[in-house]
Amino acid sequence: MELDLSGAVALVTGAGRGIGRDIALALAAAGADVAVNDFADEAACAAVVAEGEKMGRKGLVVMADVGDEEQVNAMVQRVESELGPLSVVVNNAGITRDNVVMMMDAADFDAVISTHLRGTFLVSKAAARRMFRRRAGCIINLSSVVGRRGNAGQANYAAAKAGIIGLTKSLAKELGGRGVRVNAIAPGYIDTPMTQALPEETRALIVANTPLRTIGTTADVAAAAVFLASPQARFITGVTLPVDGGLGA
């Protein structure tokens, strides 16, 4: 069954590259007009919008720090003013500042929490206020297998991603009565520039520990996002969908 998002207006944060980029393009391919957010790389966002326009979709570049409430509110307001009422929000923006806890600087802990968890909270809050009044909408939050399992050297990232799961469940309960669905996706190890830079022995170990014996692709995550945003997922809320090849099972 084809997933049709015709008429939808979507906002994807952290969409200049990687998973966010492919989610934005997959939403556009399904029929949505897409606002593309990033913090620093405006040219990358513009390239994503240009790809969507080739599909006949409207697009918008919205630069903002998702950890800054004033910037987030202005971003959401601009999206609705220029593209129309938001029906889909994908909270994907994120950074890493890896180190073991004993050596981790508090500023690095705070930076990861701010972008991932605070950012997801702020963007969801701004969008939910509008969706709540309209009694419709879908919020999708990017968590991680690391948020479900933990990972040495990534306590800040694991804490943020675990927090996103709790935030997702709470928002689903708060907004469900007004027809707004909130779900999360927890990717496993995905083939991105970050994982491509890992030593070959590390990548081999990841594959060996993944029941499907492969690393996932950004397209795998994007497909899950399109499904959760689609009418076919109308009775799904409060879940965290693993896209991890069984790694988190």
How crowded is the C-beta side of 190, counted as CA atoms within 13 Å? 23
Q: Length of the chain, please?
A: 249
Closest CA to 243 of 203, 188, 190: 188
**Strand, helix or coil for residue 152:** coil
Give the neighbor-by-neighbor strand order of the sheet with 137-142: 59-63, 33-38, 9-12, 88-91, 137-142, 180-187, 240-243
Place of tokens 């919008």: 49
Strands 33-38, 9-12: pairing is parallel
Q: Is 95 exposed, middle or buried (0-12, 13-18, 19+ CB in 10 A)?
A: middle
Which among 39, 109, 121, 157 is annotated as catalytic? 157
Contact 52, 25 (CB under 8 A): yes
Contact 243, 221 (CB under 8 A): yes
Bridge partners of residue 89, in order along the sequence: 11, 139
Distance between CA atoms of 173 and 176, rounded to whole angstroms? 6
| Whether residue 157 lies in the annotated active site | yes
Catalytic residues: 157
